[in-house]
Chain A
Amino acid sequence: MHFGVSNIIFLVVFITAIVLFAKRIMTITRNIKLGKGVDRSDNASERLSTMLRVAVGQSKMVVRPVSGILHILVYVGFIIINIELLEIVIDGALGTHRVLSVLGPLYDLLIASFEILAVGVIIACVVFLIRRNIIKLKRFWSKEMTSWPRSDANIILITEIALMCAFLSMDTADFVLQSRGAEHYHEAGAYPVASLLAPLFNGLSDSALVFVERFGWWFHIIGILCFLVYVTYSKHFHIMLAFPNVYFSNLKSKGQFNNMESVKKEVELMFDPNADPYAAPPPAEEGAVPEKFGARDVTDLNWKQLMDSYTCTECGRCTSNCPANITGKKLSPRKIVMDTRDRLEEVGKNIDTNGGEFKDDGKSLLHDYITPEELWACTTCNACTEACPVNIDPLSIIVDLRRNLVMEESSAPSELVAMFTNVENNSAPWQFSPTDRFNWAQED
C-alpha cells in the first residue's frame, strides 16, 4: 500500500462530488414534490414487472432497432463498467493495486468483459454522434432542440468516449507494466483489448507508463465524479429516474383520462334533488387556496407529471410519432415535457432565492411556455405515450392545460365552443334535435 497525498486528494474530490450530487438530488426531489398528489402505490407487483420489462429490459427501446440495440450496448456497458468503479474507489482510497484481483478467474472475466464493453460503448457513442451531427436526424434538430439541448447531448457522448479511452489506456499501460514485472503492478486480470493496444505503448519507459496509467486512472475517476454531478443538471438524468418513473407509470388503459374529483363534487350537487340551491358554501379552511380547474402552472400538475419532466432525455420519439407534429403543426410532445421541466427549474430557483417561498414572477407554464395553439393541435391519440421508452405521459399534461383553458379561462376554439353548446343542449356534438336521434331506424 502506498498511502499518500494522492489518496487524500482522491478522498476530497470523491466526497465533494458526493455532497454536490446529494444536494442536487434533494433539490430535484423537493421540486417534484411541488406537484399535487396522485396515488401510485397500488399494484406493486405489476409495477415491478413493468419496471423490469420496460426500464431494466429496455423493451420499448428496441422498437427502433438501430438506436435501440446501440443504446442497450451503452446501457449494459455503463452498468457493468461501474463495477470497476468500485475497485477504482477502493484502490484510490487505500493505495492498493487492483484489489479485486483476489477474485481470481472471475476477475479475469470481469476485466475482459469491461474492456470489450468499453469498445462497444465507444462505437455506439461515435454512431450516436454521427446520427446527431452529420446525418442530422430530424428528431434531433426540431425547434425545441435549441443549442443547449443539442450541446448537452454532445457533451454526454464525448464524455463517455473520453471516459472509455481513459479506461482503456489505463488498462493498456497497466498490462505492459505487469508484463514487465514492474513494482506495485502485480499480474492480475485478462486484457483482450489492452493486449492488442500494447504495441502502442511498448516504446515507453516504465515511468512514462506509470504516468499514463495514473493519468488514465485519475481521468476516469474524476471524469465519472464530474459526470455524476453533471447528469443531475442534464437531460441525461434519465439514467437514474428511468427506473422509478416507469415503476410509477400509469397502469390503466391509455384511453382512460382521470375524472376530476373537484368537478365530481359540483356535478353531484347539481343532480342532487335534496341539495339546497341557496346554501352558502362551507367556510373555507384557514389559509386554503381555492382550487383551480386544470393546470396553469407546474404546481397544478401532479408529482408524477413533474417526475416525467426530469426523466425525459429528449430522444424525441414522441414527437416523431405525433400526427400533429408530422403534419407540421406546432405541437411537439417533447417540447411539452421539456417546457414543464424548465418551468419547474425556474420555480425551484425562485423558491431558493426567496427563502423557501415562491414569489410570484408573473409567469406560468401555460401561455409563457406552452401556447394554446400547441395544445389544440393534439388528437389525444396516445402515439407519444406509446413511443416513450420510459413511459412519460405528455398527453396528461396537455389535457390538464386544456382543462384550465376551458374551465378557468373559458377559452377554446369557437368551433369547440359550438360543439360544447350542442352537447349541452342537444346531447350530440352537432346541431341535431335529440328527438331525431332514433330516426335512423326508420330511414332507408
Chain B
Amino acid sequence: MSEPLKIKTMADCMAAGETPEILFWVGCAGSFDDRAKKITKAIVRILNHVDMSFAVLGTEEGCTGDPAKRAGNEFLFQMQAFQNIQVLNGYEVKKIVTGCPHCFNTLKNEYPDLGGNYEVIHHTQLIQQLIDTGKLKVEGGAFKGKKITYHDACYLGRANDEYEAPRSVIEKLDVELAEMKRSRANGLCCGAGGAQMFKEAEEGDKEVNIERAEEALELSPNVVATACPFCNTMMTDGVKLKEQEENVKVYDVAELIANANDL
C-alpha cells in the first residue's frame, strides 16, 4: 500500500502518443463517495500490480445516465450517453473495465445502439481473467480460512448473468464461501437499484437492505463481499443497523484481493 498509485488519464496518454490497453471507467460513486473511492483504489492497485496499461477519463468522465434511465428520464440518459460516447469515441476506446455493475450494464448493453461500441467487462471479470492467465497470483492472507458470503449485484447477476466471476475470485482466497438462502439468479436486491439509492423508500414494513443484511448475518460470516459500490453502501448500513459492524466487514471483491495480497 506504500507505493503511490500510478494513474494516467486518456488525455495524458494521447499527449504522449500512447494507447492504453484498457480504459478504467471509475463511475460516480467510485469518484465521489468516500467508501467507494477505496474500492476504486483497490482496483488501481491490482492494475498497477500486474503492470496493466490502463487509463481513466478523469474529469472527462460523466455519469453514464443509468439512474436517470431507470427513473424514467430517457432524455437525460440519452444526453449523458451522447456526451460520453463522443468522448470515448474521440479517444478511440476499444475496451472498458468498470468499477460498478450499473455503469457496466449501461455501457455494455445500452450504448451500442447509440453509437458506442466497446468491449465492456466488470472488474470482477477482469480480476478473474488476470488470475486465470497467471498474471495475478492470489493468496488468502488475512482472509485465509474466514467465512465470506457474496451478495449478488442485480446488474451483474440477473441483468447480465455473471454469477461465477466474483465467486471464483473469492474462492482463490482459500476461504469458506457461504451462500445466502437467496443467491445467484434468486438473489435479493440490496434496495439501491432503479435510482432508489437517491431517494427515501416508499412506505413499508422494513428497509430492503435490512432484510438482506439479516439474511447475510444468519450465516455469521466474517465478511460480506460485494461487487457494486451501491450494494456496498446498503450492506454496510444494514450491518451497522444490526450493530454487527465489529464482527462483520463489508468489502468489495477488489478490496479482498488487494488487501489479502498487500497490494
Interface residues of chain A, those whose CB is within 8 Å of chain B, are: 63, 252-257, 259-260, 263-264, 266-268, 270-271, 293-294, 321, 323-324, 326-331, 373, 376-383, 385-386, 399, 402-407, 412-413, 415-416, 418-420, 423-424, 427-430, 432, 434-438, 440-441, 443
Contacts and interface: CB of A to CB of B under 8 A. Distances in A.
A406 B79 CA distance: 15
A255 B120 CA distance: 14
Contact of A407 (B59, B74, B158, B212): B74
Nearest to B58: A438
Interface stretch (B14-22, B164-172, B200-208): B200-208
B67 A429 contact: yes
A416 B198 contact: yes
14 contacts: A253-B159, A253-B160, A253-B161, A259-B114, A327-B210, A407-B73, A419-B68, A423-B80, A424-B76, A428-B31, A438-B9, A438-B58, A441-B5, A443-B37
B105 interface: yes
B129 interface: no
A382 B201 contact: no
Nearest to A321: B186
A402 B78 contact: no
A432 B56 CA distance: 19
Given A323-B191, A383-B188, A255 B204 contact: no
Contacts of A382: 154, 158-159
Contact of B110 (A259, A430, A432): A259
B207 A430 contact: no
A415 B188 contact: no
A260 B212 CA distance: 34
A430 B28 contact: yes
B113 A379 contact: no
B69 interface: yes
A429 B63 CA distance: 7
B91 interface: no
A257 B207 contact: no
B188 A430 contact: no
Given A256-B105, A327-B208, A379 B194 contact: yes
Nearest to A415: B199
A323 B199 contact: no
B55 to A, nearest CB: 12
Contacts of B52: none
Given A403-B72, A420-B73, A429-B28, 10 more contacts: A63-B186, A326-B188, A327-B210, A379-B192, A380-B194, A381-B194, A386-B185, A403-B74, A416-B71, A429-B67
Given A255-B155, A324-B204, A438-B58, A294 B72 contact: yes
Interface in B210-224: 210-212
Interface of B: 5, 7, 9, 26, 28, 30-32, 37, 40-41, 56, 58-59, 61-63, 65, 67-76, 78-80, 82-83, 86, 105, 108-110, 113-114, 154-155, 158-161, 185-186, 188-189, 191-208, 210-212
Nearest to B102: A255
A24 to B, nearest CB: 35
A386 B68 contact: no
A427 B64 CA distance: 8
A423 B63 contact: yes
B205 to A, nearest CB: 3
A327 B72 contact: no
Contact of A267 (B82, B105, B203): B82
B109 A253 contact: yes
Given A63-B186, A328-B205, A402-B71, A259 B194 contact: no
A294 B188 CA distance: 28
A443 B37 CA distance: 9
Contact of B158 (A376, A386, A413): A386
Contacts of B73: 403, 406-407, 412, 420
A316 to B, nearest CB: 15
A246 to B, nearest CB: 17
Contacts of B40: 440
Contact of B113 (A259, A266, A381, A404): A259
A327 B204 contact: yes
B26 to A, nearest CB: 8
Nearest to A408: B72
Given A263-B74, A423-B76, A440 B41 contact: yes
B204 A254 contact: no
B62 A434 contact: yes
A380 B63 contact: no
Contact of A266 (B67, B75, B186, B197): B75
Contacts of A418: 198
B80 A427 contact: yes
Given A383-B188, A443-B37, A267 B72 contact: no
Contact of B63 (A329, A330, A427, A435): A427
Given A259-B113, A381-B194, A419 B67 contact: yes
A425 B196 CA distance: 20
A437 B72 contact: no
A379 B191 contact: yes
A301 to B, nearest CB: 14
Contacts of B200: 413, 415
Contacts of B198: 415-416, 418-419, 429
Contacts of A419: 67-68, 71, 195, 198-199
B158 A329 contact: no
Contacts of B195: 416, 419
Given A255-B105, A381-B194, A428 B63 contact: yes
A414 B72 CA distance: 14
Contacts of A377: 201-202, 204
A383 B199 CA distance: 21
Contacts of B37: 440, 443
Contacts of A424: 76, 79
Given A256-B110, A380-B194, A432 B72 contact: no
